[in-house]
Structure formats: structure tokens, C-alpha cells
Structure 1
Amino acid sequence: MTSKTSASAATTRATRARLAEGSPHAVAPMSLSYLIGQLDRVVSRRLSEALARHGLTLPQYTALSVLRARGRSSNAQIAERSFITPQSANEVVKTMEANGWVMRESDPMNRRVVLLSLTEAGKTLLDECDDAADHVERAMLDDQQADTPHTLRLLLHACVRNLRAA
């Protein structure tokens, strides 16, 4: 552990202890890791509920979003970028293809690789679901200052970058 990390951990412990003082029932604040996990679960549940109204699951929405952002992608790429296993990605892709939201084509560079891309129906559905996802985000940030989403986005990107580099 670096001295910078040790100092940061000590500061966090000291802050928790200071906040817990003075009240016989005070509880130290939850760790950031716990709060992030809790937020992930609540956001996932709320998004799943909102997307279900459009006949879409959260993994399907994520996969469609990946295809829009990255363009044609293989099953393996969709799995990795959608935070699901390759086996789950196979099931997600089968359903999306059966519903006409994606189409398969051979990779011109490697005929053994199949690339997926959005169809017009997939793009239309994704646009509708983006509105539902935006509604969930607005609800999450309802009583926050106007610059909070931008600041939060920067902080979360930095957290991801730091953990990937560690």
C-alpha cells in the first residue's frame, strides 16, 4: 500500500469515527463501495422495470446500446462490453435477432466471426428505451444541482480508470 493510499484510508476511518461521535445511536457512514453497490442494484431494478414496459430486458438494452455506440460487434465483444457472460450473450442475441432488433453478417476479415448490427427496428426500440432510461436518471438526480450529473460522470470515470490501472 502506498503512503498516499495509507493516508487516504486513515482519513476515511477518521472521518467515519468523527461522524459517529456524539450520538449514542450514531452509526459510521457506509463505505463508498457499499453505496455504489446499493446504487447499482436500485438503478438496475428501476431500469429493468422501465424497460419491461417496452418488452426489453436490461441485458438486451445494454447490448443494443453497445451496438449503437461501437457499431458492428461480435458476440464476445457484446458480452464483454455488456457485463455478461458469453453464454448469456448468446441467449440475448438469439432473442434480439428473433425480434428483428439485430442482424448477423460474416466479418469480411474473418469469415468464422459473425458480426451483429442494429436493424431499424432495433434503433427505434432503443430510442424509445433511452427515454425510459433518461427518466430513471432524472429521478435519481432529482434534487441535485444542475452540474451534478457532469461532476458525477467525471468522478465515476476516474474511479473506473483508477481501479483498472491498479
Structure 2
Amino acid sequence: MIKTMEKRRTPLAKQAGSTKTGAPPARVSYVVGQLDRLLKRSLIDVLGEFGLTLPQFTALSVISASGAMTNAKLAERSFITPQSANEVVKTMEANGWVGRAGHPTHGRLIHLFLTDEGRRVLKECDSAIDMLEASMLDGVTEIPVDTLRKVLQRCVSNLRG
């Protein structure tokens, strides 16, 4: 995983979208988009080492954070269609990462929950992603990481309206 990330490192000028000395700085939206693409590719690589796809990891994380939920709620919170969520859940269920149980008071609702194996796989992936984030944030000393997180969360909030 670390070797994969090492290959992707490029000079700071290229990362910022500037190839000439004295060129204007890249737009924030460009740099954020570039980070999004690189981070997504890195996450796919890291999760692939554990046999997970990015949508599966997202679903496991959402269920872990929110507790048992319906397939429709999982789709909504994972930003995917209900049909896609259904496919993701089928694979996760076949791998033993999630189970299904009837809702305690509503007979028609089926809730998804993490199994012990799902929690184990998620914990392993979280550790690997912690390493990926540490690599991504290496050398970030100008501002505290918590400040960076708050600024990015504010940007998300502003665009959501």
C-alpha cells in the first residue's frame, strides 16, 4: 500500500496544477478535485487488499456509525441508488459481513446489521485508511489537521446550502 502511494507522489507545483514558476495558484476547486480523484484511487487500492470495494466499505461504515437500518436508509446515507445498495448488500451478506433481521415492531421492515466478521473487516480497513490519511497529511504543518477538517466540512456545508 505504501509503495503504491510513493509512486503517486509528484512535485508540489504539479499537484497544485501549476507548471511554471510565478504562475497563478491553482483554483481551490481544482486542487480539491485532484485530491478527490487521487484519494478515491488510493482508497480503492487499499480496500482491494481486503477484498472490499469502496461502496462496500462506505456501507459497512454507515451501518457501523448508525446501527441497524433498512436498505433504503443505507442507500440514502451512502449516496447511492436503492438498486446499487441492494447489489452491495447481496455481496456483503454473501461474504458474511452483514445480516438481515426483521424490525422489532414493524413486520415489513428488514434491518441490516454488521456481523462480527463485518466489524472485524471494517476495523482492519479503518487501520489501513488511517495509514493512508497519515501519508496524505505528511508534511501538513501550516495548519492543524483539525482546522483543515473544519474548513473542508464548512465547504461541504456551504455547497449543500
Between the two proteins, the alignment pairs up a number of residues equal to: 142
What TM-score, normalized to structure 1?
0.78
Matched, 1:55 2:51: yes
Aligned-partner Cα distance in 2 for 1:31–1:109: 52
- Segments of 5+ residues of structure 1 without an aligned counterpart are 1-23
Moved more, 57-66 or 79-88: 79-88
Larger radius of gyration: 1
For residue 143 of structure 1, the aligned residue among 126, 139, 159 is 139
Matched, 1:98 2:94: yes
- Segments of 5+ residues of structure 2 without an aligned counterpart are 1-19
Q: Give matches, 1:1-40, under 5 Å.
A: 26-40=22-36
The AA in structure 2 aligned to 1:85 is T
Calculate the aligned-residue CA RMSD, in Å: 1.8
Q: Displacement, 1:146?
A: 8.5
What TM-score, normalized to structure 2?
0.81
For residue 114 of structure 2, the aligned residue among 95, 106, 118 is 118
Moved more, 144-153 or 92-101: 144-153
- 1:73 corresponds in structure 2 to 69
Q: Displacement, 1:138?
A: 0.6
1:13-44 Cα shifts (integer Å, max 9, x gaps): xxxxxxxxxxx875433222222121111111
